[in-house]
Structure 1
Amino acid sequence: MKKYILAGLLVWLPLAITVWVLSWLLGALNGVFESMLSASQAVLPQAAHASIERLRHVPGLGIVVMVLGLLLTGVFAANFVGQWWLRQWDRVLHNIPIVKSIYSSVKQVSDTLFSSSGNAFREAVLVQYPRQGSWTIAFVTGKPGGEVAAHLSDDFVSVYVPTTPNPTSGFFLMMPRSDVRVLKMSVDEALKYVISMGVVAPPEAAPARN
């Protein structure tokens, strides 16, 4: 009976997690839509409040509106006029105290992670962490720069060590390049290996032909 229960769990667990993630995402989109409706009620006259309340009860409307808004924003940002307006918007936000620190940091990270020309994770490597003799998978994100690089005399690389099974949290380390072992597996294969807690091992690289 234990064998059959585990077999059933392996069938339903991936589906359950997928549904949970999608439900969370759809809930977040609906939450943004609800906030937009509440803001509209604060600005529009009282006569329009009844119509706004009816919109709250339309199933799936928030998701449709948010996806459509993202699509139209992407189309606007992809053309010359949209890029000009976005530059002006960035300039305004960068002149606001406190806001500029948060906005610029988040924008740099998001541009690196989600831009089609970005290269957030360059290669998968093995590093000793959290102590000598204990190895884990990490991802090279670049080289130390600025003031930090001036304090590091040797050849160092910046690496990101993800946590399992949630790779979106982790640790940022700067290590000597000599302490990093480059892996032949792709970044996608390494991420699957981390998320599966080592259960889904990537295939071994084929030996090079002479």
Structure 2
Amino acid sequence: MRKYFITGLLILVPLAITLWVLHLVIGTMDQSLLLVPEKWQPRTLIGYDIPGLGTILTVLIIFLTGLLTNNLVGNYVVRLWERVLHRIPVVSSLYGSVKQVSDTLFSSSGNAFRKAVLLPYPHQGSWTIGFLTGVPGGDVKNHLVGDFVSIYVPTTPNPTSGFFLMMERSKVIELDMSVDTALKYIVSMGVVAPGQSPAKQ
């Protein structure tokens, strides 16, 4: 009975978590329907909501935004809009920081999270996996003697939170491992080793 119970857990838990995440994401993206006039919303037209319709609308908005801004007129409008935002005190600092991070993470020419590394953390003799995010900049690099790199160390099993470290490059070992593989290794708490599939009962 214990074996069957564990086998059932191994099958249902990943499925349940996947469905929960999808429900959360789709539910959040469905909020974009609030942009549509009430008389055109599904609840008004047919009497009930259609799950996922807002997700399709969100994807279309993102695609059209990219299409419209990928020309001279669109670029001019974006630059004009950003100049307006930069003149608003609180919005300026918030928007600037978020844009800089998003440009670094999502730009095809960026190097963020492109390399998995092995580093001693949280103390000597203990090792963990992190991701190179660049090199220290600004006034920070003026106070660091030597060749340093910036590293993001995700927590387990939730990699969306973690720690930002600056370490000497000589103490960091670059891994012959893709970022996706390293993330799977971290999320599984080391159960799913690189190059292996989850064990079957």
Residue correspondences, number: 193
For residues 65 and 57 of structure 1, what CA distance do their matches in structure 2 show? 17
> Does residue 1:157 correspond to 2:146, yes or no?
no
- How is 1:116-155 mapped onto 2 (pairs within 5 angstroms)? 116-155=108-147
> Does residue 1:201 correspond to 2:166, yes or no?
no
Residues 104 and 111 in structure 2, CA contact (< 8 A), matched pair in contact too: yes
The CA deviation at 1:152 is 0.5
Residue identity in the other structure for 2:20:
W
Report the counterpart of residue 176 of structure 1 in structure 2. 168
Report the counterpart of residue 16 of structure 1 in structure 2. 16
Cα deviation digits, residues 29-53 of structure 1 (max 9, x gap)? 123433x35xx6xxxxxxxx66667
The CA deviation at 1:168 is 1.4
For residues 82 and 114 of structure 1, what CA distance do their matches in structure 2 show? 20
For residues 73 and 132 of structure 1, what CA distance do their matches in structure 2 show? 48
- How is 1:67-146 mapped onto 2 (pairs within 5 angstroms)? 67-146=59-138
For residues 14 and 121 of structure 2, what CA distance do their matches in structure 1 show? 29
The CA deviation at 1:197 is 0.9
For residues 135 and 187 of structure 1, what CA distance do their matches in structure 2 show? 17
For residues 29 and 17 of structure 2, what CA distance do their matches in structure 1 show? 19
For residues 7 and 77 of structure 1, what CA distance do their matches in structure 2 show? 50
Residue identity in the other structure for 1:144:
P
Residue identity in the other structure for 2:50:
P
For residues 39 and 183 of structure 2, what CA distance do their matches in structure 1 show? 49
> Does residue 1:65 correspond to 2:65, yes or no?
no
TM-score norm. by structure 2 comes to 0.86
The CA deviation at 1:167 is 1.1
SS of 1:98's equivalent?
helix
Report the counterpart of residue 28 of structure 1 in structure 2. 28
For residues 51 and 69 of structure 1, what CA distance do their matches in structure 2 show? 17
Deviating beyond 4 angstroms after TM superposition, the runs of 4 or more aligned structure 1 residues are 49-53
Cα deviation digits, residues 7-56 of structure 1 (max 9, x gap)? 1222222221111111001111123433x35xx6xxxxxxxx66667168
Structure 1 unpaired stretches of 5+:
41-48, 205-210
Residue identity in the other structure for 2:2:
K
% identical aligned pairs: 59
Report the counterpart of residue 44 of structure 2 in structure 1. 54
For residues 127 and 186 of structure 1, what CA distance do their matches in structure 2 show? 16
Residue identity in the other structure for 1:26:
I
For residues 181 and 39 of structure 2, what CA distance do their matches in structure 1 show? 52
The CA deviation at 1:192 is 1.2
TM-score norm. by structure 1 comes to 0.83
Residues 111 and 134 in structure 2, CA contact (< 8 A), matched pair in contact too: no
For residues 75 and 13 of structure 2, what CA distance do their matches in structure 1 show? 43
RMSD of equivalent CA atoms: 2.1
Structure 1 window deviating more from structure 2 (61-70 vs 116-125): it is: 61-70
